[in-house]
């Protein structure tokens, strides 16, 4: 493929994405909005896990936290949803920072168990604090735009996703990004080389939690409801599947994964009660036989990803 064809393809793609509400119909625009949400959540999780190597199962806790805080700000205080989203992101980042402090002391398995424990405790709290969260019923919220059209949501979602990706891209390409990768590869060596480990880890925890919370706030004002189901392990497994399928530890992989899995799931729904097990099977097989994700699979494993070494090394 020459450079020109590639450019043409990319332009075509950009045009298609930009005009989606005009040709794809309401339902696929709805899916498009969900894709934007997932792109932000998965890509930020990818920075935390794939680049900084800080395994976490709490990403969905932060997105639901953002959803709840934002919805409560809008319904209880009567503030505009946008303020709610911003506030949700701040609270999310703060709680992410706290979880980061907690995790600083832990290594390896203890670290992941703590994030899992946090996620489960948070979900239980959402279920039990009925007076604030309305328990397993979920909290009804405020729509960002009046009317039934999904088009404005789509463009706002797209804008947010692009901004989030630009931010992540800049971080990954900056010295901060290199330092994070150094921490992932060898924490002790990085520390010896003078990297202030704690500061970097807390930064990445807070940033990714804040981004997820912001996306969660947006989703809650799109769907008009936020429930504890967002914070379950099966919700987390979707984030995981998207990152793994695309290619954890690459920039483009999780984006393809998020959109691909969300669209795939819409088609798998016809399988009825078989669909989740079929989906689970795909993820298992991917992990087992192509742990680098689709990206690595198609590039002949030449690409270094989170789990898979460069072919020349392996």
Partner 1 sequence: MSAGLSMFLSYLVSGVIIGNIYGLMALGLTIILGVMKIVNFAHGEFYMLGGYAAYVSSIKLGIDPRLSILVAMGVVFIIGVIVERGLLTPLYAGKLDRPGDYALLMTFALSVFLMNVVIPIFGPYQKSSAPLAEGSVNLGVVMVGKTRLIASLVSILLMAILLVALKKTRLGIALRAIAADRDAAAVCGIDVNRMNPAAFGIGTAMAAAAGALLAPSFLVYPACGTIAASKANAILVLGGMGSTKGAIVGALLLGVFEALGVLFLTPGYRDVYGFLVIVLVLLIKPTGLFGSQEFS
Partner 2 sequence: MKCMRWISVLLVMALLSGVLAGCAPKATPAPSTSGKPTGEPIKIGGIGPLSPPGTPALGEEMMNAMKLRIDEINAAGGLLGRPVELVFEDSGGAPEKGTSAMEALINKHKVVAITGEGHSSAFLAEMEVAKRNNIVLLDCEAWSDQIRLRHYEYVFAIPAGNTMFNQKIADFVQGTGFKRPFILAEDTDFGVEGIQLLGGVFKEMGIEFGSLLVDRTTKDFVPFLLQAKEFKPDILVVNVTGIGSYLIVQQAKELGIAPSADCAYFSGVADMGYPELWETTGSSAVGVVWETAIHPKAEFTELTTPFVEKYKATYGRSPTYSGLQAYDCILVLEAAIRLAGSTDSAAIRDAMEKIRIKGTRGELYFPTEAGVLYHQAPVPLLFLQYTQDKQLPDKCEIVWPKDMQTKAYTKPQ
- Positions that interact with partner 2 (CB under 8 A): 1, 6, 9-10, 12-13, 16, 20, 23-28, 30, 124, 127-128, 130, 134-138, 140, 147-148, 223-227, 229-230, 252, 256, 259-260, 263, 269, 272-273, 276, 294-295, 298-300, 302-303
100 vs 217, beta carbon nearer partner 2: 217
What are the beta bridge partners of residue 140? 225
Pairing between β-strand 225-226 and β-strand 139-140 as defined by DSSP bridges: antiparallel
CB burial of residue 75 (10 Å; 0-12, 13-18, 19+): middle
Binding site for partner 1 (CB under 8 A): 49, 53, 55, 57, 102, 105-110, 112-114, 116-118, 120-121, 124-125, 128, 233-234, 236-237, 240-241, 244, 273-274, 276-277, 279-281, 283-284, 287-288, 291, 306-309, 314
Which partner in partner 1, partner 2, none is near 299 (CB below 5 to 8 A by kind)? Answer: partner 2
Within 8 A by CB and 6+ apart from 226, the residues are 64, 67, 68, 71, 138, 139, 141, 216, 219, 220
Q: What token pair was written down for 167?
A: 């931010």
Q: Which does 307 bind (CB under 5 to 8 A by kind): partner 2, partner 1, none?
A: partner 1
Q: Judge whether 103 and 49 are in contact, CB under 8 Å.
A: no
Collapse the DSSP code of 226 into the 3-class scheme (helix H, G, I; strand E, B; otherwise coil) and give the result: strand
Residue 273, φ and ψ in degrees, nearest 5: -70, -10
Look at residue 306 and give the partner it binds from partner 2, partner 1, none, a contact being a CB closer than 5 to 8 Å depending on partner kind. Answer: partner 1
233 binds, among partner 2, partner 1, none (CB under 5 to 8 A by kind): partner 1
Q: How many CA atoms lie within 13 A of 27 on its CB side?
A: 3
Which listed option, partner 1, partner 2, none, makes contact with residue 69 (CB within 5 to 8 Å by class)? none
Q: Which is closer to partner 1, CB of 120 or CB of 266?
A: 120
Residue 159 or 284: the one with the smaller Cβ distance to partner 1 is 284
In the list partner 2, partner 1, none, the entry touching 252 (Cβ below 5 to 8 angstroms by class) is partner 2
Nearest partner of 205 among 102, 124, 122, judged by Cα? 102
């Amino acid at each position: 493929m020459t450079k020109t064809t590639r450019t043409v393809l990319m332009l075509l793609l950009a045009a298609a994405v930009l005009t989606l509400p005009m040709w794809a119909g309401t339902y696929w625009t709805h899916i498009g909005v969900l894709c934007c949400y997932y792109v932000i959540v998965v890509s930020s999780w990818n920075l935390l896990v794939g680049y900084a190597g800080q395994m976490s199962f709490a990403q969905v806790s932060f997105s639901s936290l953002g959803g709840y805080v934002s919805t409560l700000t809008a319904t209880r205080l009567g503030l505009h949803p946008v303020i709610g989203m911003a506030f949700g992101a701040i609270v999310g980042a703060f709680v992410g920072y706290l979880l980061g402090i907690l995790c600083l002391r832990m290594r390896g398995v203890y670290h992941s168990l703590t994030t899992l424990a946090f996620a489960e405790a948070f979900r239980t709290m959402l279920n039990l604090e009925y007076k604030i969260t309305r328990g397993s019923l979920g909290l009804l919220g405020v729509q960002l735009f009046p009317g039934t059209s999904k088009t404005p949501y789509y463009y706002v979602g797209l804008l947010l996703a692009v901004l989030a990706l630009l931010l992540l891209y800049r971080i990954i390409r900056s010295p901060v990004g290199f330092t994070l990768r150094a921490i992932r590869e060898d924490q002790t060596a990085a520390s010896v080389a003078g990297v202030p480990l704690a500061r970097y880890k807390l930064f990445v925890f807070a940033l990714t939690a804040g981004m997820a919370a912001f996306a969660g706030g947006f989703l809650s004002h799109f769907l008009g409801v936020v429930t504890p189901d967002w914070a379950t392990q099966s919700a987390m497994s979707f984030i995981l599947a998207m990152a793994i399928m695309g290619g954890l530890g690459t920039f483009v992989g999780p984006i393809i994964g998020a959109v691909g899995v969300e669209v795939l799931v819409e088609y798998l729904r016809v399988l009825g009660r078989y669909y989740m097990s079929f989906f689970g099977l795909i993820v298992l097989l991917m992990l087992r036989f192509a742990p680098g994700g689709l990206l690595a699979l198609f590039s002949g494993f030449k690409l270094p990803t989170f789990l898979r070494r460069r072919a020349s090394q392996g």
